[in-house]
Structure 1
Amino acid sequence: MNSNSAVAEAQVVISGAGPTGLMLAAELRLGGVDVVVVERRAAGTVGESRAPGINARSMEVFTQRGLGEEFLNRGKVLPGVLFSGIPMAPHALDPGWPSALILPQHETERILAARAVELGVRFLWSTAVVDLNQDDDGVEVFVEGPSGPAGIRAGYLVGCDGGHSTVRRICEVPFPGDEPESFWVVGDVRLDSPPDGNGVFGRNERIGTYQISRAEPGWFRLSLMRTTPPADRTAPVTLDELREVMRDGLGTDYGLGEARWMSRFSDGFRQITDYRQGRVFLAGDAGHIHSPIGGQGLNLGIQDAVNLGWKLAAVLNGAAPDSLLDTYHQERHPIAATVLQLTKAQTALIKPGAQTDALRGVVADMLAVPETCLRLSGILSGLNLRYPLGDTHPLLGRRMPDLALSTGQGRTGVFGLLRQARPVLINLGADGLTGIPAPWADRVDYVEARLEPFSSSWDLPVFGEVPACNAVFVRPDGYVAWVNPAGAPVAHDTLTTTLGRWLGAAGTAVLGRT
């Protein structure tokens, strides 16, 4: 990791080196932005499974940035999607459904931190943000580290510092939501006599649904509800508490010997009212907290980062207007609100009781209906996300699939064109489209390609059959912002309007090149 050298200024300061902060830092560096990550820990997460679920959309994002293979090599592919532990199998209905993954969070952070260092991100470890002042031109970020207090002048600050965000507290951002009603303990533990050898996912009348699963060789991931609230919700979990909760809820502690990580969570749900506070932004758990049932937290954070990163880079490079940054809240806040509602439903279904058991049976039957399975799997996997970018074509506002293309340089997939986090205009045979209009020529990659097979309609993975197009503009985050229907003349006016909206109408800055 980078050493803690003195930092006086940066274009962007990120508070927090978890998955969200690391992903954002890498995205900013791909955009040519000078970024410093401030992290209160002495190093990244070590030996903690924490948030191990990586959904299908996050895997697509990692693949777009050239990291997908490394994640696949280290993780375990999930056979389906779980709704409160009830399995759904979208792969059986759509063979093109992308895979999700189980990987301990410390491994995710290791991959993302290595990429950030490779790209030149600067880190200040054992350093905490303690205060900030912002004005029309930037933010003064006050930090406390091994060398004492210091200030960093930045253009923007992004709080990626978790559910107890210091940045959120300093900015006094309203954080409305629901107080917790139930409480769980979770940990990575060693068990002398694990259930069924490899663990168990079970349910009983005292604590509802519980999980003991093999996380890594020698370690089990434990998650179960307390029958009574903890005396002190802020106190660290101890081995004695784990043993007590296991014996109370399961009748045994399975020979619990040690733990490398222990924590607690609740079913409290909150979301900030605005992701932007002037020149300060909040991302990941700093902007929304919820029960981890369904594994949505890490994935929301990764996708917050990818949405915000290229927009900050475009503005800082002098091309796009500051108003572009408002679209971060406009696009991401509704997505998290939807996910929080689904997570509430999943959390309710894991609780104990005969009525809940009956409801789970009804829900399981409903999830077996193909349309319901695909709809909920699409939301939980992030694949059905649609930003409000227009309704003239089904692809607008949706993720661009990784279609196989033939180009003058050979075969490639769409995701391979997004490796450098630059926007791309793909010409799939449109007459009259010969390149990028002059004001944006240095900010957009242009690719002439052929899609095989090509017909009057496309049968696309996850989407199904949609009207064909002969050209498509894809934002750096992989979402489609402009489509030209097959057989139609190129709509140059809507193309230039789209380019101006997302990249600015004039200027010579180059997004993604330093």
Structure 2
Amino acid sequence: MNQSVSTAQVVVAGAGPAGLMLACELRLGGIDVLVAERRSAGTAGESRAPGINARSVEMFAQRGLADKFRSLGKSLPGVLFSGLPMAPHEIDPGWPAALILPQHQTERILAERATELGVRFLWSTSVVDLRQDDDGVEVLVEGPSGNTTVRARYLVGCDGGRSTVRKICGIPFPGDDPVSCWVVGDVRLDSPPSGGGVFGRNERVGTYQVSRAEPGWFRLSMMRATPPADRRAPVTLDELRETMIDGIGTDYGLREARWMSRFSDGCRQADEYRSGRVFLAGDAAHTHSPIGGQGLNLGIQDAVNLGWKLAAVLRGAPAELLGTYHRERHPIGAAVLQLAKAQTALIKPGSQNDALRGVIAGLLAVPEVCLRLSGILSGLDLRYPLGESHPLVGRRMPNIALAEGDGPADVFGLLRDARPLLIDFGAVGLVVPAGRETDRIRRIAAQLELDQTGGQVHLPVFGDVPAFDAVFVRPDGYVAWAHPAGERVDTDALAEAMSPWTGTDRTALGAAAAVLG
């Protein structure tokens, strides 16, 4: 290890999707970031969590990364509930698509972006101890050259379900112990199923999958009819073969695996996502069955929620801002765990589960049910408790087209540098507060490229909502303030809405108001 590496504003433990996304967000905020990852540089080509839901795709678009993901991934306009298909795009043509992309590709894109932004990495290095004080955290890391202490203002544990950071902090991790066990792997098959794969169900192992992941590689996921004696023992090729033959009567000529693992129906969630100057994100904060493809997305969205807040505090915003991370993300994590439990129960074998799947499949054909569940699973229906002044408040800002002074634009393009965004669509008397932190706010006047008739505007996913003529959008893309169309703007109300997210005193915001443009 380079012994000169001894300080950083933030140390991130773990370079999985959550850790990499967090590092990128912090660098966009101008923060010095050091990532310690126990694996060596580069990834092993594992598919692991290949599902990127629609909201995560949108977040990548907000940072200018979506085109890279789309060029490598497979578009998935539909949504699956425990393998049962829903087609929200057939009901709402503007419904955003999800992606299927092996996790190693996701990590490669994010690692390349982190490197471009100036994130520092310590590969083959693990966090082994830490000590906090009022001013920061001393992080003891162990790498190829021995132990080194890194002094940081904050530490974020993105180091997985068995998080060392969480254990050192003594954060309780309650939940359900596993009952059933599945094997999963990326495998080569000499006699693969016709049509590129099979997604089936039987009375012995319930729902199973053998499907093409990448050229030459198939993704296997199958319940073990008999749980292994030691769930922590490494999975072997023989175990994969025995599970397949026992479960479906064939191994399709299994001859090689580049990655093998197990997952279970256990689930756990940290009681707190924060301990002093230490935070948890991703699997370090919550673990559950991967059925439904929620884990990677939950971690990505944890990172985007925490990153801009941590950067703002390090630039001088009040530390109270960091308390909103747990308050906003913990309930979301709890809801996802419940949804994962339900989906996992439905893939298990048994005549009762078969009957329940039939009932659920019928309900999913009801448009209102389809849109509701698709919104939850896609991450598009999330609403933070930021107020009830307008249906947009607390929800994601959709990527609507805009016409501004410099020509055509869209909302996501204006969020690429992770700055708060205030858009004036012609609000009466709108003034933009100016002050200590508001120089980071992107302020634009634009024309809304949507029809507003009868006091309503139609937005994909949302449906019809009351017309609006100004919005204030946080760096993570969530609306903190929306102004009803046609009413005169209350400067004090705008200052109150902006103050918690900009770190500027409400009174100062109001007093220092400056006319837009």
TM-score bin (small chain): over 0.9
CA drift at 1:235: 0.7
Report SS of the residue matched to 1:114.
Answer: helix
Question: Alignment partner of 1:313: what SS?
Answer: helix
What is the aligned partner in structure 2 of residue 512 from structure 1?
Answer: none
Is 1:313–2:322 an aligned residue pair?
Answer: no
Q: Which amino acid aligns with 1:137?
A: D
Q: Is the 8 A contact 1:80 1:87 kept in 2?
A: yes
In structure 2, C-alpha distance between the alignment counterparts of 1:44 and 1:291, rounded to whole Å? 26
CA distance in 2 between partners of 1:129 and 1:439 (Å): 36
Using the alignment, how far apart are the partners of 2:224 and 2:353 within structure 1? 17
Question: Is it true that 1:339 corresponds to 2:312 in the alignment?
Answer: no
CA shift, 1:503, in A, is 1.5
What's the CA shift for 1:439? Answer: 4.3
| Deviations 1:112-153 (CA, angstroms, capped at 9, x unpaired) | 000000000000001000000001110000011111111000
- Identical amino acids, percent of aligned pairs: 73
Aligned mates of 2:398, 2:349 — CA distance in 1: 40
1:29 is matched by which residue type in structure 2? R
Q: Could you list the per-position Cα deviations for residues 416-457 of structure 1 after superposition, in whole angstroms to 9, with x for gaps in the alignment?
A: 100000001000101222434344431211010001234221
Q: Matches of residues 278-289 of structure 1 in structure 2 within 5 Å?
A: 278-289=276-287
Superposed CA deviations along residues 236-290 of structure 1, whole A, max 9, x for unmatched, are 1000111111111011111001000000000001101110111000000000000
When normalised by structure 1's length, the TM-score is 0.97
Contact kept in structure 2, 1:311 and 1:324, CA below 8 Å: yes
- Residue correspondence of structure 1 range 184-223 to structure 2 within 5 A: 184-223=182-221
CA contact (8 A) 1:436 1:444 kept: no
- Structure 1 residue ranges without an equivalent (≥5): 509-514
- Which among 354, 357, 376 is matched to residue 357 of structure 1? 354
- Runs of 4+ with >6 A deviation: none
Residue equivalent to 2:406: 409
**Residues 346-389 of structure 1, C-alpha deviation per residue, up to 9 Å, x if partnerless?**
00000001111111000000011111101110000000000000
**Quick one: distance in 2 between partners of 1:478 and 1:5?**
39
The superposition leaves residues 175-206 of structure 1 with CA deviations (integer Å, 9 ceiling, x where unpaired) of 11001110000000000111124110000000
**5+ residue gaps, structure 2:** 510-517
Structure 1: distance between partners of 2:437 and 2:412 = 21
Q: Provide Cα deviations, 1:77-112, integer angstroms capped at 9, x if missing partner.
A: 113000000000000110110000000000000000
Deviates more, 1:497-506 or 1:80-89: 497-506
From 380, 389, 393, give the equivalent of 1:392. Answer: 389
Whether the aligned pair in 1 keeps the contact of 2:77 and 2:96 (CA below 8 Å) is no
Question: Which residue is 1:43 aligned to?
Answer: 41
**d(CA) in 2 for partners of 1:422 and 1:198?**
44
User: Is the 2:153–2:277 contact (alpha carbons within 8 Å) kept by the matching residues of 1?
Assistant: yes
Matched, 1:371 2:396: no
2:76 maps to 78
User: How far apart are the structure 1 equivalents of 2:304 and 2:336?
Assistant: 17
Q: Which residue of 2 aligns with 1:495?
A: 494
2:390 partner letter:
H
How far apart, in 2, do the equivalents of 1:62 and 1:197 lie? 32
User: Measured at CA, do residues 39 and 344 of structure 1 come closer, stay the same or move farther in structure 2, by a change above 3 Å?
Assistant: same
Distance across 2 between alignment mates of 1:457 and 1:269: 42
TM-score, normalised with respect to structure 2: 0.96
CA RMSD of aligned residues (A): 1.3
SS in 2 for 1:174: coil
| Match runs of 1:112-131 below 5 Å | 112-131=110-129
Distance in 1, Cα, partners of 2:326 & 2:221: 33
User: Aligned-pair distance for 1:397?
Assistant: 0.2
Q: Is 1:80–1:88's contact at 8 Å kept on the other side of the alignment?
A: yes
- Contact conserved, 2:140 with 2:149, CA < 8 A, in 1? yes
Aligned residues: 505
Give, as a single letter, the amino acid of the residue that structure 2 aligns with 1:472: V
Q: Structure 1 counterpart of 2:95, which letter? A: W
Matches of 1:79 and 1:204, distance apart in 2: 27
Secondary structure in structure 2 of the residue aligned to 1:331: helix
SS at match of 1:234: coil
Structure 1 equivalent of residue 504 of structure 2: 505
Task: Classify 1:281/1:412 alpha carbon distance in 2 versus 1 (closer, same or farther; 3 Å).
Answer: same
